Structure 1
């Protein structure tokens, strides 16, 4: 406590410190850091949790994200959905007598299988070509495996029958799984996944034709098989959660392929009530006055958490000694006589569709409030003293919450741990501003580098670092002052002293190339801007930021450079990728790439008909090497 005189301590009940459970009924999660919650009706996961991997037998996902097959048994019809739209029949104008009493459908790549009464139809090309008919009694499920294999499960057995797509038998897989098979899938490396139901609930099994079947977990299932977009199913229909133009959306249909206006209710997947009773929790203090209890829990609408406790000195107590916390209270005082031991009872309840989650219970002891700081005269009357302690404990609790906020305030300044929505506020403390297109990772990197960026702001290093953080590529800075050719002072001829050399002060002879006024090879070629304004606009306090093609948006780079560049400078941005451009400067790594040459043919660096001149040339007398003339050294040419 904030104002307590004696040092207070506490005991935690959670997955890390232990729950000291003595009696548990229909609760689970005591070893899970997520918290204690209501258990499922049976052992293992619920049916709704397994829908993405084991859908209803009338549904089968296709090879595309929005591709699904829907079997309508009452109409003896198979529907297909190849885009994120409506359902259409697979066979237009097909004789409905082809299917007698269909029960399930399976799909894999371009193959399709429909389990009917006493037979299984296998199609290729998504139903366009009938590959074969498998005759088997009382089939329930089918799965399409690699190597053109078909697995069939029967109603009266947990074994699997193997066939080829043409109906030829290939043997039997003995699974030894108890109960009955309600889900069948094939996975990588010829793995077979089963969903079986017995008296204990649902269980997942994994095995193969030559491997024994063993129980598996949902985590192993999710790691081996990609889940589908099926999220809900009931007697009236099903729902798919898919990516649309405006984000993720959930669409529901009936089992006839018609749109539903209302989604199906959440399935019952939890026990409606559960309880936990702890063992005697020892404070280690004789006649200890226990102070309070705090519960950290998530309580959704339709659920409740209730807590009872009793304090005893020797472990003996009556049923009437239990103290019940007020409904909906997660922080309350212990109103019990002093005692060394405390016993806790926790009850969780829900509607079967949701469950409360209790992450931690904190027990504070001994009692320590700000009443301990009052003069003894205020604590002479026991009844008044009890009221004073309980009254002041309200303020102590508020002050304790403020103290916890102050203690955790440094965590708000940790850019690596705060939520994404806090990053703009944290950047405002540093004088940083973010653009809307920057993701949370980029923003955290900028905040982390802010001290060094401010210390070296205005330098090429800081500008390169900022661009690299935001756009993920290091730019090339081209400072145009290095190319300035006006009023250039250099050593005079013979090294006798400084001079202007052969360049006139602000002369045009060595500025950009002009026809009739510049020597070829002595002036740069540039085709932009006014030549007369070059001394001021092209070089003085100017620089370019050059980036490879595809690295960033030019406007976004320009805005960032304007914020990072020194105030007296002016920058331009150029995104490369167009190769050498006549009249514009090129930079290595921006629009020019040096790549290794292909392997040589002759020697280490000589390639016949490529790098050498060992090839037929022009006929005639020998002459010197001339540009544009194909010649052979020593045959048609002479090197002078």
Structure 2
């Protein structure tokens, strides 16, 4: 489509090719700018931080070690160290910070607490040599982890606890019984400055390497990788902490009409004035490149394009100078207006070009320049005109500049057409185009889903649509989003009526396919519900509701339950996913596991409870063991049992317990 006589060459300035800062010049190559090796681009530096985001900008996701957000809106835990350490809990109704435990009936006092963390209804306190975890918002102690040098902790799904020790970035994963399960290598430099467990089993780690803060994401068995603040905001819901200083902290919470900011001291007392918050960004920065060699004598440089994000209150200014031998005067610089991201080089021919970028802001935001493209030599559609139109040098220069407007528009259309196939590739489409591609396929994303989950859903969409409405499709969708395979309990399988189902419906193994006619007996109405004069005693269930003649379609018909262990997924998001994936004629319900078996109600192993090893027997103490009930004092000839074993005698309550 383009009308230019031939392709032009270009030079890129970015983190991959290099920004070519001038290291030999008289003036500094960079000032107030960071990110020369960051693929996201260069930006203004944070004050007090040589590289990356400042600590104040990360408070909504990584609060102070003395603060931890709870599961309910407005619920916060505040750890008050000192001579008499306490753990306080934010009471929204009362407006204060009452203690979690009363002095009369509380647990053993805290001993030199270091940090506090929370997830769901569980809260963990790190103390020297151990980590204690309570559930029910501090009512019941469930886990005590013995570990030296613990600094940070984070409750994880499945009752696990992640612990980071002082001076290292490796994480230690402990089970619900307090035993070490694995040591996770993050591969990051420095020390851990924050630890969070996010949705879908994700783990977020903030590291401090000599003042340089970096964010890392891992989980689901995958390796840790460095991420940006934008990825952190998309994958982990932010909290309401907006400021923290030596004298206190501030929370900004939703109000009846506008957000309300409340400030408190580190003892839980209200404050009238918020603590001072330092300005996050520098207000100006400069990048000066070295002489960029085109390799062409008397080269006519053509076009300079900037790929940048410029928020309100910020600006990016580009300046260039062209010379044949590398010498120039200050008056030779071509200066553009702030905000100009695409302009033509109005310079005499020359082999070398030097670029200067100026970034400015109001200390609350920063522009980000991802890439600069330098096009040379000048190639336009004017080269296709007859020589008679190019005899006058002044007119020829105007004609080239005028036709460059149309050449740029046609080239943009060419690039759009060339990149259309990439927009339909789930692995190659840009992150910001994922919602658009999902809209073409009729998919709806939740705000908390990360980018890998969205791409996995797009890749699996054709197969999910093919088997939509089957248990396999519903189970697969939940596995992709939440990283755990659910149990689907179809109520129709429990009723005493035969089901008609074609063999091989869905990509399920044969053992999971339903029984059809000819393989199960057709029970009569007398077996479906007890009837006087027709049902044998003990052969039919007792029911006293509804029309007995409608039992075949009304009792359990088109109903199912989706079961997951406690803490495996957000129940609200899971219910919305089930409603979108379930057939329209069915009625589905979602239930996550409880605290144990419930007598008189249906309970599922792996959902409501789990078989865990018995704790080591310890006589005496605050909770003494009862002989022949709580522990096994003498192991067997093959050592202590660690759980239920296949092919050997394993007794519940002797070798293991249900938790």
Corresponding residue for residue 211 of structure 2: 218
Contact kept, 8 Å, 1:478 with 1:546, in 2: the verdict is yes
1:119-198 matches, within 5 Å, as none
Question: How far 1:342 sits from its partner (Å)?
Answer: 1.8
- Give the whole-Å Cα distance in 2 for the aligned partners of 1:312 and 1:593: 75
1:524–1:403 distance in 2 versus 1, CA, 3 Å: same
Q: 2:249 is matched with which residue: 240, 247, 251?
A: 240
Question: How far 1:313 sits from its partner (Å)?
Answer: 2.8
Is 2:562 the counterpart of 1:547? yes
- Give the whole-Å Cα distance in 1 for the aligned partners of 2:599 and 2:529: 18
Contact kept, 8 Å, 1:27 with 1:36, in 2: the verdict is no
1:243–1:84 distance in 2 versus 1, CA, 3 Å: farther
Q: Any idea what SS the aligned residue of 1:461 has?
A: helix
Contact kept, 8 Å, 1:46 with 1:269, in 2: the verdict is no
Corresponding residue for residue 355 of structure 2: 344
1:60-79 matches, within 5 Å, as 65-66=77-78
1:226-625 matches, within 5 Å, as 231=243, 240-242=249-251, 244=253, 251=262, 259-260=272-273, 267=279, 270=282, 275-299=286-310, 304-348=315-359, 357-410=368-421, 412-413=423-424, 425-432=436-443, 445-466=456-477, 472=484, 473-477=486-490, 479-480=492-493, 483-484=496-497, 508=525, 510-520=527-537, 522-523=539-540, 529-535=546-552, 537-538=554-555, 542-548=557-563
Contact kept, 8 Å, 1:278 with 1:345, in 2: the verdict is yes
1:86-105 matches, within 5 Å, as none
Question: How far 1:82 sits from its partner (Å)?
Answer: 8.3
Equivalenced residue count is 455
The runs of 5 or more residues in structure 2 that have no matched partner are: 69-75, 98-108, 114-126, 130-163, 169-189, 192-207, 217-238, 501-517, 615-630, 638-647, 655-659
1:618-637 matches, within 5 Å, as none
Corresponding residue for residue 21 of structure 2: 21
Measured against aligned partners, the alpha-carbon deviations of 1:149-206 in whole angstroms (never above 9, x if no partner) come to: xxxxxxxxxxxxxxxxxxxxxxxxxxxxxxxxxxxxxx96599xxxxxxxxxxxxx99
Measured against aligned partners, the alpha-carbon deviations of 1:597-633 in whole angstroms (never above 9, x if no partner) come to: 99999997599xx9xxxxxxxxxxxxxxxxxxxxxxx
Contact kept, 8 Å, 1:4 with 1:370, in 2: the verdict is yes
- Give the whole-Å Cα distance in 1 for the aligned partners of 2:78 and 2:345: 57
Measured against aligned partners, the alpha-carbon deviations of 1:493-526 in whole angstroms (never above 9, x if no partner) come to: xxxxxxx9xx9x9955544332432234544555
Corresponding residue for residue 615 of structure 1: none
1:484–1:305 distance in 2 versus 1, CA, 3 Å: closer
1:43–1:394 distance in 2 versus 1, CA, 3 Å: same
- Give the whole-Å Cα distance in 2 for the aligned partners of 1:555 and 1:318: 66
TM-score, normalised via structure 1 length: 0.53
- Give the whole-Å Cα distance in 2 for the aligned partners of 1:388 and 1:291: 14
Corresponding residue for residue 32 of structure 1: 37
Question: How far 1:546 sits from its partner (Å)?
Answer: 3.5
The runs of 5 or more residues in structure 1 that have no matched partner are: 54-58, 71-79, 89-107, 113-144, 148-186, 192-204, 207-214, 488-499, 611-640
Contact kept, 8 Å, 2:316 with 2:357, in 1: the verdict is yes
Shifted more, 443-452 versus 5-14: the winner is 443-452
| Larger CA Rg, structure 1 vs 2 | 1
RMSD: 6.1
